[in-house]
Amino acid sequence: MTDTVERVYLARHGQTVLNADGRLRGLADPPLDEVGRAEARRLAALLATKRPAVVISSPLRRAVATAEAIADATNTAVLVDDRLNDRDYGPWTGTVKVDVVDEFGSVDAAPGVESAAALSERVLTAFRGLVAEADTWPLVLVSHDAVNRALLTGLDPTLADIGQRTACWNQISHRDGAWHVDLYDQKPS
């Protein structure tokens, strides 16, 4: 039996070598590293207690591998959805983030990067579409740091400076006619 409360658990994928090196991942497609696979297993064990009805993942393999761990632990299927894809860092993909910030003042100012406004619009549109299409609850959405932060900030602007550690989860619930962020950047022990 699934939960009738409209609830979404928004998760970030586990660690990759690019995360460990502080590099912009974006549309690069590195696999989870050993730490990331262990993080995904811990996240899966925790989210299994939430009894998700479906797991929906970004198409990038670091997210898919994390989603598959969750699906295995919860005996559900993984649906891959391009709408959850990571931010496009253009020519800066794979570059050390601090180097981009040093050169341009911020990642947002680097030429060729998907703008923060475009990312926010894309992510909020994706979220609205995914929850409108849902017929069972709760959902687990597995995505990326930039995507998750854009969604959480879009739902609650006071969360503009929050982090999204690898393999963290966030709880979003629909009540009083709107979506609310209940918990954010939670990490399994």
pLDDT tens digits for 9-57? 999 999 999 999 999 999 999 999 999 999 999 999 999 999 999 999 9
Choices 3.40.50.1240, 2.40.50.140, 3.40.50.20, 3.40.630.40: CATH for 7-186: 3.40.50.1240
- Decide if pLDDT at 132 tops 70: yes
- Token pair listed for 25: 């991942």
pTM of the entire predicted model: 0.96
Report, as an integer, the average pLDDT of 84-90: 98
DSSP 2-56: -B-S-EEEEEE---BHHHHTTB--TT--PPB-HHHHHHHHHHHHHHHTT--SEEE
What is the pLDDT of the chain when averaged over all its residues? 96
Label residue 1 by pLDDT band (50, 70, 90). Answer: very low
**Between these two residues, 4 and 133, which has the higher pLDDT value?**
133
142-179 tens-digit pLDDT = 999 999 999 999 999 999 999 999 999 999 999 999 99
Report, as an integer, the average pLDDT of 63-81: 97
Label residue 2 by pLDDT band (50, 70, 90). Answer: very low
Q: Do 96 and 21 contact (CB within 8 A), yes or no?
A: yes
